[in-house]
Amino acid sequence: MAGFVLQRLMQAVVVMLVMSALVFVGVYAIGNPIDVLISPDATQDIRAATIARYGLDLPLWEQYFAFLGRVLSGDFGTSFVYGIPVTQLILTRLPATLELTLTAIFGATLVGVPLGMYAGYRPDRIFSRVVMGLSILGFSVPTFWIGLVLIFVFAVDLGWLPAGGRGETVSLFGVEWSFLTLDGLRHMLLPALNLSLFKFAMMVRLARSGTRETMSSDVVKFARAAGLSEWTVLSRHVLRLIAIPIVTVFGLELASTLAFAVVTETIFSWPGLGKLVIESITALDRPVMVAYLVIVSFVFIAINLSVDLAYAALDPRLSKGRS
């Protein structure tokens, strides 16, 4: 097991290095940041001085190693637009995305998996059909449209919930969180719901198909023949058997939502990472884009690693085969 973890950690380091190089070169190739940094009518002297100050006159590889060195010490440079260190900027935005994404995806899983299991267990019940209908809706209706409808209905017409913003926040570990205040939770409800619908639909379908397949298996027949109650069969046997695809999708969705909650964050003016990166791309704010991409790769790798470890815990055949 330890060998497996070590091997995966080393792979992760290599992937991170390749990613950082790709990101750096990719971003270097687009646009000229000098145009953003100084006004078009600045003198040639000022222009040269600025270029020298940001090290933009050095060869690409030297710039890359300088960049790598700074990144390793946690320094992503200073935002061209905001004029504050990128690390600090991201730290103010990350918690917003984190709390929104985690709420959405945990909600989707904790509600979707039991409903999906029920729909797979009793496929002919009306309730199961309603659940499946909802999941088709969640799959096929675009996120931005649902977001707008949610705002129309709950914020504009009914006036029950705020249409955007984070609301009141509380400081914890030096960063601001919304989920600790009632007002913050009220602000989070609509965007989280919006974000969770697709994931909910996915979890329902996964759990349903897995349960349907497993219910007709010999494992279930044998468990029933031994007198286990239906609840025990479902909660102890079936849930464990269908867990692996669910954990896989959970990890993938968690990572991609953390990185790309852009649409929802924009519609609900949620000041998260997705919104920040879109703004940075339009403003050619290179340090922010680079830092964002590096952090996103890191998040993906970390989550994939945890998913792999979860597999080993869920299916003993995997851990024994690898150790």
Partner 1 sequence: MTGPILRVRDLTTRFRSRAGTVTVVDGVSFTLDRGEVLGLVGESGSGKSMTGFSLIGLVDEPGRVEPTASVELDGRELVGLAEPEMRALRGRRISMVFQDPMMTLNPVLSIGDQMGLVIAAHHRMSRADMATRAAEALTRVGIPEARARLDAYPHQFSGGMRQRVAIAIAILNHPAVIIADEPTTALDVSIQAQILVELQRLAREDGTAMIWISHDLATVSTVADRVAVMYAGRIVEHGPTTAVLSRPRHPYTRGLLDSLPSRGEPGHDLAQIPGAPPSLAALPPGCAFAPRCGHADAACGVAPPATEVGPRGWRCHHPLEEARR
**Residues binding partner 1 (CB under 8 A):** 216-219, 221-229, 232, 236-237, 240-241, 243, 314-317, 320
Which CB, 158 or 225, lies closer to partner 1?
Answer: 225
Q: How far is CA 160 from each of CA 36, 107, 216, 302, rounded to the nearest angstrom?
A: 42, 21, 46, 38
Q: Which is nearer to partner 1, 61 or 222 (CB)?
A: 222
Minimum CB distance to partner 1, residue 130 (Å): 21
- The distance of closest approach from Cβ of residue 225 to partner 1 in the complex, given in angstroms and rounded to an integer, is 4
Q: How far is the CB of 109 from partner 1 (least distance, A)?
A: 19
Decide whether 11 or 229 has the Cβ nearer to partner 1. 229
Can you give the three-state secondary structure of the chain, one letter per residue? CHHHHHHHHHHHHHHHHHHHHHHHHHHHHCCCHHHHHCCCCCCHHHHHHHHHHCCCCCCHHHHHHHHHHHHHCCCCCECCCCCCEHHHHHHHHHHHHHHHHHHHHHHHHHHHHHHHHHHHHCCCCHHHHHHHHHHHHHHHCCHHHHHHHHHHHHHHHCCCCCCCCCCCCEEECCEEECCCCHHHHHHHHHHHHHHHHHHHHHHHHHHHHHHHHHHCCHHHHHHHHCCCCHHHHHHHHHHHHHHHHHHHHHHHHHHHHHHHCHHHHHHCCCCCHHHHHHHHHHCCCHHHHHHHHHHHHHHHHHHHHHHHHHHHHHCHHHHHHHC
- The nearest distance, CB 313 to partner 1, in angstroms, is 10
> In the complex with partner 1, which residue's Cβ is closer, 186 or 224?
224
Q: Identify which of residues 53 and 221 has a Cβ nearer to partner 1 in the complex.
A: 221
In whole angstroms, the minimum distance from the beta carbon of 4 to partner 1 comes to 18
Q: Which is nearer to partner 1, 7 or 229 (CB)?
A: 229
What is the distance between the alpha carbons of residues 82 and 213, in angstroms, rounded to a whole number?
Answer: 54
Minimum gap (Å) between residue 84 Cβ and partner 1? 49
CB of 240 to partner 1, least distance (A): 5
Nearer to partner 1, 224 or 322 (CB): 224
